[in-house]
Structure 1
Amino acid sequence: MNSNKINYADITISAVSPSQYPKEGLPEIVLAGRSNVGKSSFINTMVNRKNLARTSGQPGKTRTLNFFNIENELFFVDVPGYGYAKASNAEQEKWGRMMEDYFSSREELILGILLVDFRHEPSEHDILMYDFYKHFNVPVYVIATKSDKIKKSKHNKHESIIKKALDIDPEDKFFTFSSFTREGRGNVWDALSAHLLKDEKA
């Protein structure tokens, strides 16, 4: 996939149950992270769009699994942001069931992306999400957003803190990313393309 020239990217469906999942059979990459980590900005930067994924002033607004078709080659699946204080317990349980339905049954799922804020130590929710991926044997890319907010001289320190808190599997990849400077975009696309190729051959 030529990441510098993405001609097609569109939201296919916002699903709440397996019967609504896309039927194309394309590989799917899940994007998870807390409500204000910059998931929408990450998607928009990755596909060179300004507002494919809507950035909201209201954290926790995503209530569905949003399937974004990229070049008819793969889906980014944006799942509800977690750690949003105003979400009721009932809402959170509903999201949890929706996620479990997807993760336990979806053969197209080939990779999980966990977005964390590079400036902060991973939250309890971040750690739970990483463990959730591992529970379902999903390979993970940990992507630390807002890297432009941290001095380069401190990048190694922050990376170490995040990896230690998550107890990251040595096989899982770590990237720094900035939607402001676009740092990391090329590296992430290179890794995704290689992963897609490996999955095709498997």
Structure 2
Amino acid sequence: MSKDNWDIIRAKYVASAVRADQYPQPALIEAAFIGRSNVGKSSLINSLCRRNGLARVSSTPGKTQTINFYELEAKRVVEGEDERASFYLVDLPGYGFAKTNHNNKDQWSGFISKYLSGSENLGVVCQLIDIRHKPMDSDMECFNWLRSCGLKVQVVLTKSDKLSKNAAMSQKALFKREMGLKEHEIITYSSSQHTMRGELIERIMNALSANGVEQE
């Protein structure tokens, strides 16, 4: 990775929350991650931060039941000078087929929607979708709802290593068409191979910079 590109150099868990009064302080600009249960969100977060075990990976769909905040520090070198920026990566519970009772699902959707529609610090939402499938109704509903809230959405197609290069390109084109996305609004990612890691970090940092990420 070029020195003038952003990289994640530090990451730590700071808080779990289901209410606004549990959100960590001080407030920082935020990049949230959301996706269907079992889409590979924890694996992607660990890949992005280069920290195995930072986000707990589970074979049980719907394991994440709280909003989890991680404090990340990013760094780049511009004209020989270090630039650093801190922000929260916010891991949201998965939507879809989480194994829980109906009341819990209502509660989850309640505090998730309150966070997404009410956070003053949210700079970008990365919506993770399994590249091997067509866009599902729940994916489209989530995407359209995020857009209706005026949020900037970066679609991340996960598990790209499970397909051939040509098949992955075809699927990406399908999602672009179905969701009405521009090229810079969608990216493929393989957590096991870390492909497109640098590009995704750049896109996140560009979105956060546009929304006032504090640089040191």
**What's the TM-score once normalised by structure 1's chain length?**
0.91
CA distance in 1, matches of 2:19, 2:140: 25
Counting matched residue pairs gives: 198
Does 2:172 match 1:125? no
- Give the CA deviation at 1:193: 1.9
Moved >4 Å (runs of 4+)? none
Give me the whole-angstrom Cα distance separating, in 1, the residues matched to 2:93 and 2:15.
14
- 2:37–2:95 CA contact under 8 A, matched in 1: yes
Q: Distance in 1 between matches of 2:130 and 2:29?
A: 26
Give the unaligned 5+ runs of structure 2: 74-84
Which structure 2 residues correspond to residues 100-139 of structure 1 after superposition, within 5 A? Answer: 100-139=113-152
Q: Does 1:96 align with 2:109?
A: yes
Question: What RMSD, in angstroms, separates the aligned Cα atoms of the two structures?
Answer: 1.8
1:122-161 superposed matches below 5 A: 122-161=135-174
Q: TM-score, normalised by structure 2?
A: 0.86
Identical-residue share of aligned pairs (%)? 35
What is the Cα deviation at residue 127 of structure 1?
Answer: 1.0
Pairing 1:40-59 to 2, within 5 Å after superposition: 40-59=42-61
Q: What is aligned with 1:38?
A: 40
After TM superposition, the structure 1 = structure 2 runs for residues 150-189 of structure 1, keeping only pairs within 5 Å, are: 150-165=163-178, 167-170=179-182, 173-189=185-201
Give the match for residue 198 of structure 1.
210
Output one character per residue of 1:28-83: Cα deviation in whole Å (capped at 9) or x when no partner: 11100011110000100001111100001221011110011102711111111111
Query: 5+ residue gaps in structure 1?
Result: none
1:133 and 1:179 map into 2 onto residues whose CA distance is 24
Comparing both chains, which one has the higher relative contact order based on Cα–Cα distances under 8 Å and sequence gaps of 6 or more? Answer: 2
For 2:78, the equivalent position in structure 1 comes to none
Deviations 1:10-45 (A, max 9, x none): 111110101101122211111000111100001000
